[in-house]
Amino acid sequence: AGRKKIALIGSGMIGGTLAHLAAKKEMGDIVLFDIAEGMPQGKALDLSQCGPVEGFDAKITGSNDYADIAGADVVIVTAGVPRKPGMSRDDLLGINLKVMKAVGEGIKNNCPDAFVICITNPLDAMVWALREFSGLPHNKVVGMAGVLDSARFATFLAWEFGCSVKDVNAFVLGGHGDTMVPVKSYTTINGIPVDDYAKIKGVSASRIDEIVDRTRKGGGEIVGLLGNGSAYYAPATSAISMAEAYIGDQKRILPCASYVEGKYGLDGLYVGVPTVIGAGGTEEVVEIELSDEEKANLKVSTDAVEELLEACKGLDSSLA
Ligand code: APR
């Protein structure tokens, strides 16, 4: 009973944006946690003072003590370091793996019944490690990547076609890296397959390929432009849509980094697949038909994720 409790582990650029969105939507009371002292408390005060202007009721607090996330219904994890220009997400592995260990233990000890959404990169490896360290069931730990990658793909397609983003249903599978797999066969403009609509609009196949490529490198493009840090508005709003699906038992089918065992020929790893999110967490992984080329691309992507998992096991023997 009472309001939901949302714990944000990491109160940096994405964490602060998450808090603002969650408050505005009155999703529940919010705890901003960080290792940096004062910063989450300062952001919590600043965000609380949005309430009278925006008209939301939400208690927003900052903390450096894991005890304050006790009983959280949803935990969204952004703790760690973001990329600098020229870095790949994989370059963050060593540092962020240690962060996932601390966060996983904090969750295990304080809110083992929460639904946990990981955003920290390299995403597919970090969500796997966070699950291992926390010991939570696989259906209660998920990674945010596909909603964001699909949003990037949809944005670029809408610009190219001069159509509303609302009509673009874009589909991206695989790992959250440069090998991700934008799937054209499941991407539609209000139901019209993207290749058909490209023909109607006189957009060449090579132009669509360029958009696929830009989508794959979409995070890096922003890192290069910002010069300091990585994307945060769209990553935050993407994770909020997943949290809403859980809290509202919406049974949405969203592309998420989910635990896949058996389906897609995979044997126990986290990677981006269409996933039903409802009150049970990640309730079902949906296995769709793929062309041979899409299957081959997915294999490249999942092989890259497997390599990162091996690297994690090498860095922390408790994972082996
Ligand atoms: N426990 C809690 N918080 C931590 C820890 C830790 N062990 N280590 C670092 N942090 C905090 C930092 O103090 C910082 O406030 O995590 C926060 C990260 O915030 P930013 O540096 O602003 O990074 P952000 O842009 O929010 O991205 C966070 O998400 O998309 C990914 O690649 C991105 O891994 C990065 C993460």
pLDDT tops 80 at residue 301: yes
Of ligand 1's atoms, which has the minimum distance to the CA of residue 11? 15
Question: From the CA of 239, how far away is ligand 1's center (Å)?
Answer: 15
Structure pTM? 0.97
Residue type, 205: A
Question: From the CA of 114, how far away is ligand 1's center (Å)?
Answer: 20
Q: Note if 176 is an active site residue.
A: yes
Query: Ligand 1 pocket: which of 81, 93, 144, 147 to mutate (most atoms <8 Å of CB)?
Result: 81
Q: Is 59 exposed, middle or buried (0-12, 13-18, 19+ CB in 10 A)?
A: middle
Instruction: Return the pLDDT at 84.
Output: 86
Question: From the CA of 13, how far away is ligand 1's center (Å)?
Answer: 8
**For the chain, what is the largest distance between any 2 Cα atoms, rounded to a whole number of angstroms?**
58
**Do the interacting molecules here have an ipTM over 0.95?**
yes
pLDDT tops 70 at residue 224: yes
Answer yes or no: are the C-beta atoms of 125 and 308 closer than 8 Å.
Answer: yes
pLDDT tops 90 at residue 178: no
Query: Ligand 1 pocket: which of 17, 34, 92 to mutate (most atoms <8 Å of CB)?
Result: 34
273: alpha, beta or left? (left if phi > 0; alpha if psi -120 to 50): beta
pLDDT tops 80 at residue 121: yes
Query: Residues with Cβ within 6 A of ligand 1?
Result: 9-15, 34-36, 78-83, 92, 96, 99, 102-103, 119-121, 229-230, 232, 235
Instruction: Return the pLDDT at 1.
Output: 66
| 150 band by pLDDT with thresholds 50, 70 and 90 | very high
Q: Among residues of the chain, what percentage have pLDDT more than 70?
A: 100
Of ligand 1's atoms, which has the minimum distance to the CA of residue 230? 25
Question: From the CA of 94, how far away is ligand 1's center (Å)?
Answer: 14
271 strand-pairing partners = 258
